[in-house]
Each structure stands twice: as structure tokens, then as C-alpha cells.
Homo-oligomer: A and B are copies of this chain.
């Protein structure tokens, strides 16, 4: 017998991309001041105004969540599971930072107990941040990938991940040969891909850490498993971009390396893309490839300002997910990502005085921001048929937001936007959401639900 439940409260989600509704972004959103979500066996079966929906489900067991905004669970498109502990490590740009802080920590994940404990912490932190879906890097050792998928399975959380391949530029004990990477990946794909909510991503760490042999192994995996995802990094840092050209001299630019090995296209994500050329943006758009925008990390490592207004050009729109990039990013919370995304956008906008359209596309309104970490992120990862909003048929992952959660000054700020009874209009709700993203933090996350089950409640 199916288990059914109803969630009543104020709901905010998206039905379209706000960048397609310039000046009328509210057309892309959906706000129900008093809504009802019906969940059966973890999936949404009905959604709408409480008055309408409740008439169709008279015997429903309803949980009424008051004084909160209920949104789809947040989607983190780019995060490094084995960097959980080394978040916020001092003082280096990308390449020396990897050597000094990251590889030594990731090596610990060859130990199964360490990896298992870390996986528990990782998901605890995601849930406390309102994140219900992540696309994650692991390490070069299968142990970390296994423990990550196993923990996701126990929590029934949707996860995209894969063994992370690297065969140059890392300590010897960290690197794996292309052959071993291929063999381990095959086993992991057979064991985890599409088992429960798990999805497998073929994961070359980045082209700078890959020989031709490793990329050829990725190509073969993709040919043999065309419905797998591909997850990697691209054009993050100036020094990296310069060096990658020397390692792969036949390729005209960074993207061309991944194109050469047939890795781009739907379900491909390249993290960062700070230094992509206009031509690379065009080719990404044309092939249906995605970039994951990670502003916390781009600022923390000083990589630079992602050209958000260029990526969202309607003539050549690139799919995006947004990511924390823990531990290059210093926040686990996607709300922290929205904070920094807004700032990157404003800095870009100010520098684009002669280009008003691109400048305006850089402004991360609450509509654009929250779309990007819900439905937009799902589109970027090609999982929008599964998650991202409250449309019936999708999985019931959602987050319950307390708009006053955050520092001591937040409640008075929010009282300027809506009175204590909460938002009555979409505009009021959006004003509160902007406060959550710019003044609030993880304290705004009051509850996190996965497949219709409450897995986190703020203590």
C-alpha cells in the first residue's frame, strides 16, 4: 500500500528560466501563499492551492508548516566530497593549493573507516544546508566512491558521482593509471549507476591532470555507457589555462580537449569556466554541455569573475548548474553561493557600462538565484524530469526556509519586506528570499525533506 502524506504551507518554486522573462521574472515563478503538496511513496502526485487540492484528497494526513517558505531542495552542481574537512585552507591559488592542502587530505580516503565517517559528515552537512542533490567529485581510490554512494543509498538521496581520474600532476601515491581507472570505473558503473537514486559520472579530474591515455579511457567509458554523466573542471584559473595548452598542444583551447575525446554534450559538466572564450561559450551552448558556476571558490582561490551575463546570452544560452566547490569554496550552503554569485554579477555589471544587456543579465535577482539552485541546476545536470520543482511526478525533495534565520539583525531587515504573518504576494516572498540569500545563511534552513521524509530539522 502506498504511503501518502500532505504538506501544507507557503510554497515557492519555478516553472521556467527567469532569464527568459526579462522585466517580468515573476512569470517564471510560482508562489502559493497557502498550498498543498501531496506525496505518495516519495513522489509528488498533486500540488496546488490548498483549497483546490485538499478537496481531491479528503483523508490525507497533512503536516501544516507555518511561518516558513517551502522550496525545492537545493542542487549543488560541483562539490568535492573528500575536501569536507579541508574547507577554507589558507593562502594559495589553484595549483599550489592542490599540492599543499588537497591531495594530502584526499589520500586519507583510501582508508575505508575514514571515508565512511566522512561520508556521513558530508551528507549531514548537505542536509543542514538544504541541499538534497549533489554532483560530487570523490578521489582516485574506489573506496571513497563506494562509501559515498553507499551513504547516499542509505539516505535515499539523489547523487551524481564517480571515481575521480588523475594520472599526472599529483603525488605518485595519489595517481592511478588509465587502465586501472578504466577497470575501476567499469566496476563502479555496474554496481551503482541507476541503482536507487544514484547516477554515475565519468570523472576525469581536469585536463591538466590527465594524459591522453586517461582521456581516451574516459572516451571509451562514455562510448560504452552513453547514458552516464561526465563531470570535470574547465578553465578555472589563469595559470591552469596556460599550462593545459602545453600538455595538450594539439587542442586550440581548453574545451577542445574534452571535445576531442567525445566527452561534451548532454550530461557533461565543466566546473568553473572563468576563462572561457566567446567561441567556447558558443560551442558549449550548441552541444548542450553545461558549466558549473562556483563563485565562492572563484573568489576564495582568486580565479576570477565568471562571465554570467555572457553565459546567459539568449542567442547562445549555456546550461548552468551552480556549485559550492567545497573545499575551494568556503561555504557548504548554496545560500552562501547565492551571496557570492550576486557579488560577482554586480562587479561584472559595473565593468560592463557600455553593454547594458549583458550588464543586466549579471544581476542575480532572487528569482534568478533560487531558480539556479533548484530547477535551473536540475536542467544543467539533465535531471529536471526528476527533481527541481513541485510538478507532479517529480521526487519530493524540499527545504523549509525560515526567512528570519541568520544573524541577529536579520529579523528587523525582513520585517521591512513582509509583516509577521508572512508573505502574501510573490513580490513579498521574493524580497524575503533576497534577504535569505544576502543576509541569512544556513540558519535559514529549518527542515530538509528527501523523498517525502524529513531528514533534517534545525536543533
* Min CB gap A309→B, angstroms: 12
Which of the residues B300, B304, B343, B408 comes within 8 Å of A128, measured between beta carbons? B408
Do residues A439 and B87 form an inter-chain contact, with CB atoms below 8 A? yes
Knowing A90-B365, A90-B434, A349-B302, the reply to whether A125 touches B330 (Cβ < 8 A) is: no
Contacts of A413 in B (CB 8 A): 85-88
Copies of this chain, count: 2
A124 in contact (CB, < 8 A): yes
Do residues A301 and B435 form an inter-chain contact, with CB atoms below 8 A? no
A188 in contact (CB, < 8 A): no
A238 in contact (CB, < 8 A): yes
Knowing A237-B350, A330-B439, A346-B93, the reply to whether A408 touches B302 (Cβ < 8 A) is: no
Interface residues of A (CB under 8 A from B): 84-88, 90-91, 93, 121, 124-125, 128-129, 237-238, 299-305, 330-333, 339-340, 342-343, 345-351, 353, 363, 365-366, 407-409, 412-413, 415-416, 431, 434-435, 438-439, 441-442
* Min CB gap A103→B, angstroms: 15
Chosen A-B contacts, 25 in total, with CB atoms closer than 8 Å, are A84-B409, A85-B416, A86-B413, A87-B409, A88-B438, A93-B349, A121-B409, A121-B412, A125-B409, A128-B408, A129-B407, A238-B350, A238-B353, A299-B343, A300-B342, A301-B346, A302-B346, A304-B347, A330-B439, A331-B439, A332-B407, A332-B408, A333-B407, A407-B442, A441-B441
Name the residue among A86, A129, A299, A409 with the largest chain B CB count within 10 angstroms: A409
Knowing A300-B342, A332-B409, A333-B407, the reply to whether A88 touches B434 (Cβ < 8 A) is: yes
Distance, CA A412 to CA B118, complexed state (A): 10
* Min CB gap A273→B, angstroms: 16
Do residues B125 and A408 form an inter-chain contact, with CB atoms below 8 A? yes
Distance, CA A350 to CA B331, complexed state (A): 21
Contacts of A346 in B (CB 8 A): 93, 299-302
Distance, CA A413 to CA B305, complexed state (A): 27
Q: Which residue of B lies closest to A441 (CB)?
A: B441
* Min CB gap A404→B, angstroms: 13
Distance, CA A442 to CA B441, complexed state (A): 11
Contacts of A351 in B (CB 8 A): 304
Q: Which residue of B lies closest to A327 (CB)?
A: B413
Q: Which residue of B lies closest to A363 (CB)?
A: B91
* Min CB gap A247→B, angstroms: 20
* Min CB gap A328→B, angstroms: 11
Distance, CA A302 to CA B363, complexed state (A): 10
